[in-house]
A = this chain, B = another copy of it.
């Protein structure tokens, strides 16, 4: 396996301090010794729960998106449904709950697309990406009152054309979910994803 040939040793942690911590995140600042002997301080790691995100496609060939104001970017965006995996249970249960709460959509045909570190240098959490096929609206959205969300349904081919033309831009890990979707489309050969390979 390609990933087996690694020669670089882990950093040695000499000291570790939490500068901030609550239920949302912790800022851990370490003093570390590198394999070359150099001591770095502080090296910051953001500790957070894992995240989940859904690419949900409907029977009639649309993708389910959510419009939300995003305070980091200071922008209202229209992106993939996603959320924090901070309750007991599997990531699949978390993403199913997020999709249903944010959009009212559900599916009986879920596929894990894979997971990856949110940001390997700086964060300790992972992103779990899922595909929901033949999704349909089964309820009204019921976001918690800390979220203001407008669901959108966009023809999947139009969504892809918008990304291609730069009329839509997703943020970091959501582009990563699209990359994993492409890999899944290639390996599965699922015809409902044919627009991706066009």
Contact = CB atoms under 8 A, between A and B. Distances in A.
A67 interface: yes
Nearest to A13: B71
Contact of A116 (B45, B72, B171, B182): B171
A167 interface: yes
Name the prevailing secondary structure of the A interface residues: mixed
B2 A38 contact: no
Select the residue from A73, A123, A167, A170 with max chain B CB neighbours within 10 A: A73
The interface size bin for chain A is: 35 or more
A9 B75 CA distance: 9
Given A76-B6, A76-B10, A119-B173, A164 B145 contact: no
A186 interface: yes
Interface in A67-98: 67-79
A148 B35 contact: yes
Interface in A118-147: 118-124, 127, 145-146
Interface string A45-73: 11000000000000000000001111111
Given A30-B71, A175-B180, 5 more contacts: A36-B145, A73-B117, A114-B169, A163-B183, A174-B176
Interface of A: 1-3, 6-11, 19-20, 22, 24-25, 27, 30, 32, 34-36, 38, 40, 42-46, 67-79, 114, 116-124, 127, 145-146, 148-150, 154, 158-159, 162-164, 166-180, 182-183, 186-187
